[in-house]
């Protein structure tokens, strides 16, 4: 393996860096781990119950104050109050009593804390200005989100809600997460707050924290496929130069923290990023004409007689576009292009509307068979209920995917709190399959608090299905083939109270059949047809904002093809919006691909920064979890972890200002250097090479430098089981310049279908080298590449004893320049009794 002199210099610098840490720090004494298998060693967790967003981050009185969303009544989300913890070093945290509690009238949602040292609010004393918390008040009765304040005159220990709350109310159900800071040029306060469903951040001003005036709005911009939450706005010096100060606006969207770099004049934030221009090419249709153009044909009624020409859609090019929403979502149909020859490598187009993917072989109606129950009547003769379902009857609803007007819904008195069973009359099994539609809670039979439909034979459950964590019904089936001729009953079970999400389920159209009903083909999307077969497909984004898609056509050159737009959906974003189908040589990039992310993992959300941190440092924390599975992660008695504290800086990267992160140096003080393990430099052959080092308690920092060599892909496996079947893969693809973290083989991944993932970040090699810093802590991994130019944070739940390390390479050989494993002491030792 050959490397350049520059490469060897970088390796030497990295080794000297580690040596410097060792020379400048006394080894920490080994500390016993807590008895919990999942409780982190050096990430903050509450002693018990639920925690999510960090709130009110401020350095005050020589301490870092961490407030956070806290449910004092359970270990799932809800009933939000502000928990409180303090630290002098960002690692050893002391949990304090609840700071701002929820009450009978309101929940206390996310916000921020400022030091009102000048007592502009008048809520302090003659000698001391107060700490003021600005939070989102969520009244239980109305669901309106409004901004309120509380104040503390004893340094943050006790808080009083302001008697004249709320201080800002625009009557919105999507107005939350205020971040407030002092804007010295105007001698006033500024607030940035999310207009969540509008994908906007609003900026307000105040002289006293009580009376607020709107100054401007930013957005929609960047990623708009999900609501915006937890914004932040702060200055950073570019490349450490005060004369080149920029402003950074962050918003948390689609499970991640996105940032924009620009200017702020006290009134308006302006993004420096120029508008995106997709690659030019051959336009198949831009829909500027009144009709669809020669050769384009329609079926059904959804596409009408031609393109739309109004201003209700964001992101269209020109004035015209396709929109299948006319008077309602009920209309369905297709729009198919004339035949064209594929002569370029990419087909780029804009798409929005319903997120309903193409389903190959999907159902378009009920399966053939004998209908056992369609829930169309007003009663359920022959069915018997227990618990809250003794008097249950079908309800009239219009769920997506529902057949007819009636459905069985266990949302009864109290809705999610209703629990019980409903059992059908006895029947003889005469068909191999029982097809039915379900929706609602995805809590399978055999797990805690199920929401399920069971096939019961001789008193035993022989087959079971559950919901899909949505309000859209889809086909599932019970396999009765081994029990034909036997008598049976169907049993609907709801033992969930909603604390783990979707605490009820819906059932419809039970059919005894000889075939398995496939999922609904309720598509809203675009397909590429070759010889009448779908070879590429895309769907919308559940929004009205068009975004770029790109199909790779490299393997289809010279083929005859057609574009077909499809709307087979009649509810729940049941329409399609499309524009600008263009053959091109380069791919158009979606807003997600173009976005600048602080972290590219699945578990770094609600990221915000400390006010008044020492030396003007911009220190960020985030909640390490994801709402897709947050309530179901496997931890006992508590849920919720904060990330390691990260110092954000702004540097010029490839000619553009980009956020670079470093873990706060206080974390390094936990290093147990006497237990440091070193793997010597080695060649990595194609395949997997197990190392002798281990990650012991899996609460460690791993530092590694790789040389790409001839390998197409290289990296390492962490949290590796003894037999190698379980691991977290950290790998680099040299062709795409992509670093990936693969947790699909990492122990327990089955508690939620949304959990298994491969998460990636684009980051270039530096003279053929990849430098990684990886922070492992029992059930998490935070990966930093190339000195913090990219990061990926994910939760993992490895099996006991999975602490091995291995090297990997594919398509050639790579090199390991060095690798060290440094245990990090238990900062929470003795804090909790678990």
Q: Which helix (H) or strand (E) segment is 454 a member of?
A: strand 451-457
Give the separation between CA 559 and CA 299, rounded to whole angstroms: 25
Which residues have a Cβ under 8 Å from the Cβ of 241 and sit 6 or more positions away?
none
Residue 508 near residue 473 (C-beta atoms within 8 A): yes
pTM (predicted TM-score):
0.86
Neighbours of 149 (CB within 10 A): 28
| pLDDT at residue 370, rounded to an integer | 96
State phi, psi for 733 to the nearest 5 degrees. -100, 115
Taking 3-state DSSP, the helix, strand and coil percentages for the chain, each rounded to the nearest 5, stand at 5, 45, 45
Which residues have a Cβ under 8 Å from the Cβ of 205 and sit 6 or more positions away?
183, 186, 188, 189, 190, 191, 212, 213, 215, 266, 267
Residue 262 near residue 269 (C-beta atoms within 8 A): yes
Return the DSSP state at 199. Answer: T
| pLDDT at residue 2, rounded to an integer | 38
Per-10-residue mean pLDDT of the chain, 834 residues long, equals 40 40 33 57 96 98 98 94 98 97 97 98 94 97 96 97 98 98 98 96 98 97 94 98 97 97 98 95 96 94 91 85 91 96 98 93 90 95 95 91 93 92 97 97 92 97 95 95 97 90 94 95 95 96 93 98 94 90 98 97 98 97 96 90 98 96 97 95 97 94 98 98 97 97 95 93 97 97 98 97 97 97 91 60
Q: Which helix (H) or strand (E) segment is 593 a member of?
A: helix 591-594
| pLDDT at residue 30, rounded to an integer | 31
pLDDT tens-digit map of 775-800: 999 999 999 999 999 999 999 999 99
pLDDT tens-digit map of 199-246: 999 999 999 999 999 999 999 999 998 999 999 999 999 999 999 999
Residue 716 near residue 804 (C-beta atoms within 8 A): no
Q: How far apart are the first and last CA of the chain?
A: 49
Q: What is the dihedral of CA 554, 557, 561, 562, to 10 degrees?
A: 50
**Chain-centre distance of CA 785, in angstroms?**
21
**Which long-range contacts (C-beta less than 8 Å, at least 24 apart) are formed by 481-485?**
481/432, 481/433, 483/429, 483/455, 483/457, 484/429, 484/430, 484/431, 484/432, 485/428, 485/429, 485/430
53 is an active site residue:
yes
| pLDDT at residue 4, rounded to an integer | 38
| Nearest CA among 733, 706, 703 for reference residue 718 | 703
The DSSP result for 81-95, as a single string, is EEEEEEESSSSS-EE
> Which one of the listed residues 37, 53, 628, 703 is annotated catalytic?
53
| pLDDT at residue 364, rounded to an integer | 81
Give the separation between CA 649 and CA 637, rounded to whole angstroms: 37
Give the separation between CA 459 and CA 489, rounded to whole angstroms: 9
Degrees, nearest 5: CA angle 478-480-484: 160
Peptide linkage before 220 cis (omega within 30 of 0): yes
Give the separation between CA 663 and CA 658, rounded to whole angstroms: 17
For 641-797, strand residue ranges (E) read 646-653, 656-663, 677-679, 682-684, 687-694, 699-707, 713-720, 728-733, 738-742, 758-762, 769-777, 780-785, 790-795
Residue 82 near residue 148 (C-beta atoms within 8 A): no
Give the separation between CA 291 and CA 95, rounded to whole angstroms: 65
Give the separation between CA 759 and CA 604, rounded to whole angstroms: 12
| Nearest CA among 416, 572, 570, 573 for reference residue 505 | 416
Give the separation between CA 244 and CA 260, rounded to whole angstroms: 16
Degrees, nearest 5: CA angle 373-376-377: 100
Give the separation between CA 520 and CA 357, rounded to whole angstroms: 10
Degrees, nearest 5: CA angle 773-775-778: 155
Q: Which residues pair with 687 in a beta bridge?
A: 809
């Amino acid at each position: 393996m050959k490397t350049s002199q520059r490469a060897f210099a970088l390796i030497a610098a990295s080794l000297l860096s580690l040596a410097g840490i060792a020379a400048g720090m006394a080894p920490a004494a080994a500390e016993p781990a807590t008895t919990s298998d999942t409780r982190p060693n050096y990430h903050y967790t509450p002693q018990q119950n639920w925690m999510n967003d960090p709130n009110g981050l401020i350095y005050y009185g020589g301490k870092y104050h961490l407030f956070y969303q806290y449910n004092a009544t359970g270990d799932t989300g809800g009933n939000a109050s502000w928990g409180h913890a303090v630290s002098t070093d960002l690692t050893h945290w002391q949990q304090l009593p609840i700071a701002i509690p929820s009450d009978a009238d309101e929940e206390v949602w996310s916000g921020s804390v400022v030091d009102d040292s000048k007592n502009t609010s008048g809520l302090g004393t003659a000698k001391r200005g107060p700490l003021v918390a600005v939070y989102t008040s969520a009244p239980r009765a109305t669901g309106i989100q409004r901004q309120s304040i509380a104040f503390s005159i004893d340094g943050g220990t006790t808080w009083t809600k302001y008697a004249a709350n709320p201080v800002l109310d625009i009557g919105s159900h999507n107005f939350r997460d205020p971040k407030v800071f002092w804007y010295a040029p105007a001698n006033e306060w500024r607030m940035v707050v999310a207009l969540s469903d509008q994908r906007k951040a609003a900026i307000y001003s105040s002289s006293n924290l009580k009376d607020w005036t709107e100054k401007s709005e930013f957005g929609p911009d960047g990623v708009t496929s999900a609501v915006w939450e937890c914004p932040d706005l702060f200055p950073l010096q570019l490349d450490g130069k005060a004369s080149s100060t920029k402003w950074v606006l962050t918003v948390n969207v689609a499970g991640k923290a996105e940032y924009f770099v620009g200017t702020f004049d006290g009134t308006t934030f302006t993004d420096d990023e120029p508008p995106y221009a997709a690659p030019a090419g051959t336009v198949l249709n831009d829909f500027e004409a009144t009709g669809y153009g020669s050769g384009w044909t329609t079926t059904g009624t959804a596409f009408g007689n031609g393109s739309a020409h109004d201003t209700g859609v964001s992101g269209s090019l020109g004035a015209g576009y396709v929109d299948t929403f006319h008077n309602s979502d009920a209309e369905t149909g297709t729009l198919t292009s004339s035949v064209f020859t594929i002569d370029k490598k990419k087909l780029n187009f804009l798409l929005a509307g319903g997120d309903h993917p193409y389903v190959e072989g999907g159902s378009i109606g009920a399966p053939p068979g004998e209908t056992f129950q369609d829930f169309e009547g007003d009663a359920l003769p022959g069915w018997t209920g227990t618990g809250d379902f003794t008097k249950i009857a079908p309800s009239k609803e219009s769920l997506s995917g529902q057949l007819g007007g009636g459905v069985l819904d266990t949302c009864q008195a109290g809705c999610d709190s209703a629990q019980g069973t409903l059992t059908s009359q006895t029947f003889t099994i005469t068909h191999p399959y029982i097809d039915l539609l379900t929706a609602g809670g995805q809590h399978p039979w055999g797990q805690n608090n199920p929401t399920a439909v069971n096939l019961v034979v001789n008193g035993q459950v022989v087959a079971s299905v559950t919901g899909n964590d949505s309000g859209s019904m889809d086909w599932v089936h019970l396999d009765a083939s081994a029990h034909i001729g036997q008598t049976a009953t169907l049993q609907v079970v709801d033992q969930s109270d909603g604390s783990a999400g979707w605490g009820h389920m819906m059932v419809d159209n039970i059919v005894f059949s000889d075939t398995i009903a496939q999922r609904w083909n309720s598509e809203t999307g675009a397909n590429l047809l070759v010889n009448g077969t779908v070879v590429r497909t895309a769907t919308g984004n559940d929004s009205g904002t068009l975004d770029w898609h790109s199909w790779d056509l490299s393997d289809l050159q010279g083929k005859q093809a057609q574009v077909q737009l499809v709307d087979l959906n009649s509810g729940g974003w049941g329409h399609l919006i499309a524009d600008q189908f263009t053959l091109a040589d380069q791919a158009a990039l979606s807003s997600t691909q173009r976005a600048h992310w602080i972290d590219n993992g699945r578990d770094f959300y609600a990221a915000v920064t400390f006010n008044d941190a020492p030396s003007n440092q911009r220190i960020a924390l985030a909640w390490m979890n994801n709402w897709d599975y947050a309530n179901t992660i496997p931890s006992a008695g508590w849920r919720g972890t904060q990330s390691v504290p990260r110092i954000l800086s702004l540097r010029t990267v490839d000619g553009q200002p980009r956020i670079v992160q470093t873990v706060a140096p206080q974390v390094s003080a936990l290093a147990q250097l006497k237990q440091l393990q070193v793997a010597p430099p080695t060649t990595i052959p194609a395949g997997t090479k197990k190392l002798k080092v281990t990650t012991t308690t899996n609460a460690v920092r791993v530092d590694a430098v790789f040389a790409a060599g001839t390998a197409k892909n290289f990296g390492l496996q962490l949290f590796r089981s003894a037999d190698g079947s379980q691991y977290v893969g950290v790998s680099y693809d040299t062709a795409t310049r992509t670093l990936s973290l693969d947790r699909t083989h990492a122990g327990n991944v089955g508690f939620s279908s949304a959990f298994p993932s491969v998460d990636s970040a684009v980051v270039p090699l530096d003279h053929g080298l990849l430098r990684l810093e990886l922070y492992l802590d029992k059930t998490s991994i935070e990966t930093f590449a190339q000195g913090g130019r990219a990061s990926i944070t994910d939760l993992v739940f490895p099996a006991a004893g999975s602490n091995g390390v291995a090297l990997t390479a594919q398509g050639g050989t790579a090199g390991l320049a060095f690798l060290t494993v440094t245990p990090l002491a238990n900062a929470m030792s003795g804090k909790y009794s678990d």
